[in-house]
Amino acid sequence: MSPCIDAGDGEVAPETDIEGNPRYKDKKVPTGLMAQKVITGQFGKGEPVIIPPVDMGAYERQEDSVVEPMDVIYVRSDVDSNGEGSSWDSAYKNLQQAMDHAFSAGADVWVKSGTYKPSETLNRETSFILREGVKVYGGFKGDETSLEQRDYKNNETILTGDLGGSNSYHVLIGANDAVLDRFTITGGCADGPLYNKKGGGMINYAPGKDTDPFQPPIGYSPKVANCIFKANFAMDGAAVYSFDRGKAEFSNCIFENNKAGSSGGAVMDNVGAFSTFDTCTFKGNTCQFKGGAIFLDYGSRATIKTCKFEDNKAGVNGGAIYTISRASQLENTRVTFDDCEFSRNTTGKRGGAVYNFDASFITFTKCAFTENKAGLGGGAIATDFDAVSTIKDCSFNANSSEQGENDIDKDDRGIVKQ
């Protein structure tokens, strides 16, 4: 394959080649072999835009790239430059280029322990962009021949937004059917405008797209397993922001010490997101306003089971959880909690563990609420303004509130079913 294929910069190239053919005809770009640039600077509304590469020169090839199929592409940070990725000894150094190559080659990606950042520059708009259907595994020592050989506890693989003088707005941008397994995601700082204020650790929709509840969804549906999200910041959804009917799945993950400048200390789901959290721990996450751990908005439909919520804090309502429907065109926000534990979560006003608000529906089954605290009612659960909380076989112990009920409180429009 010519080295000129997909080696040009799509940001500065004209829309057509010298013969008038479109520059972006190749549907499988970037190939990952020559593509150097996947995400670029600000356009229009100040949001980052994903840019495919183009062929270098006056002519654009009008057919898909042909990439040799592979089973596994290897990545390690302790090499000087990229190899061709077929073994640990010839591994890629650049994780993004390895994922791009894997997308075209139908391969998984194995990543050796170490620290990886999305850019060697201080460009805050650069993120790791997961690729549709690509499975990315961390936790390797660097000599394994099977996933089962991983000693991930002693081989931490870190994806960081810390660029050494600035931080990426988002460490990761998700993709449909992508798999991320055994990574620590840290150092994202989404303190910018619009898109760049959401999801410091991971954001699950593409930049520059607008949602329409009557059109196909734009939210992504990745699968994230055995990962740690810690010390990320965003205005909304410090660790993860999921959006517009995306179906992100999280299993055996830890969300710890993330902070939101507004709401959703760890996670924010918005516009009908269908996130699933299975056997996850949310600990020590904080936000200034609502939802110390998770904020669920505008018709979101989360399923949360066997999770622990410990020592999360919200400045206003919902020490761990906050729900709101907000006249959603995607029906009401609905959440189920099964076999979950809520301990020592606190809020300044209502709902020390959970605040259910505005025609949202929550069902709690076999959950335990212990030592949660609120300022103005519902040390464990507060239910207000046409919200409905259904509580089945749950236990309440040593919850407290300075005013109102210590365990379960509601206003004159809230509904509690026991």
Question: Angle at Cα 238 formed by Cα 123 and Cα 261, nearest 5°?
Answer: 95
Q: Any bridge partners for residue 185, and if so which?
A: 159, 229
The predicted structure's pLDDT at residue 30: 45
Residue ranges in 27-152 assigned as alpha helix (H) = 95-105
The predicted structure's pLDDT at residue 64: 59
The predicted structure's pLDDT at residue 222: 98
The predicted structure's pLDDT at residue 295: 98
Whose CA is closest to 155, among 136, 140, 137? 140
Where does residue 20 rank: exposed (0-12), middle (13-18), buried (19+ CB within 10 A)?
Answer: exposed
Backbone angles phi, psi at 183, to 5 degrees: -130, 155
Q: Give SS3 for 49.
A: strand
The predicted structure's pLDDT at residue 211: 78
Where does residue 86 rank: exposed (0-12), middle (13-18), buried (19+ CB within 10 A)?
Answer: middle
Are 299 and 323 in contact by the 8 Å Cβ rule? The answer is no
Residue with tokens 């710890």: 256
Fold assignment, 40-52+71-417 = Pectate Lyase C-like (2.160.20)
Are 302 and 274 in contact by the 8 Å Cβ rule? The answer is yes
The predicted structure's pLDDT at residue 49: 44
Are 405 and 378 in contact by the 8 Å Cβ rule? The answer is yes
The predicted structure's pLDDT at residue 59: 79
| pLDDT less than 50: residues of the chain | 25-50
The predicted structure's pLDDT at residue 17: 82
Q: Where are the domains of the chain?
A: 1-39+53-67, 40-52+71-417
Q: Give SS3 for 104.
A: helix
Distance CA 280, CA 14 (A): 47
Backbone angles phi, psi at 95, to 5 degrees: -65, -40
Whose CA is closest to 306, among 286, 268, 336? 336
Distance CA 415, CA 69 (A): 57
The predicted structure's pLDDT at residue 172: 98
The predicted structure's pLDDT at residue 1: 54
Non-local (6+) Cβ contacts of 351 within 8 A are: 317, 318, 319, 321, 322, 374, 378, 381, 382
Are 113 and 137 in contact by the 8 Å Cβ rule? The answer is no
Distance CA 319, CA 93 (A): 41
The predicted structure's pLDDT at residue 104: 86
51-82 residues labelled b (16+ CB within 10 A) or e (exposed): bbbbbbeeebbeeebebeebebbbbbbeeeeb
Distance CA 265, CA 409 (A): 23
> pTM of the entire structure?
0.89
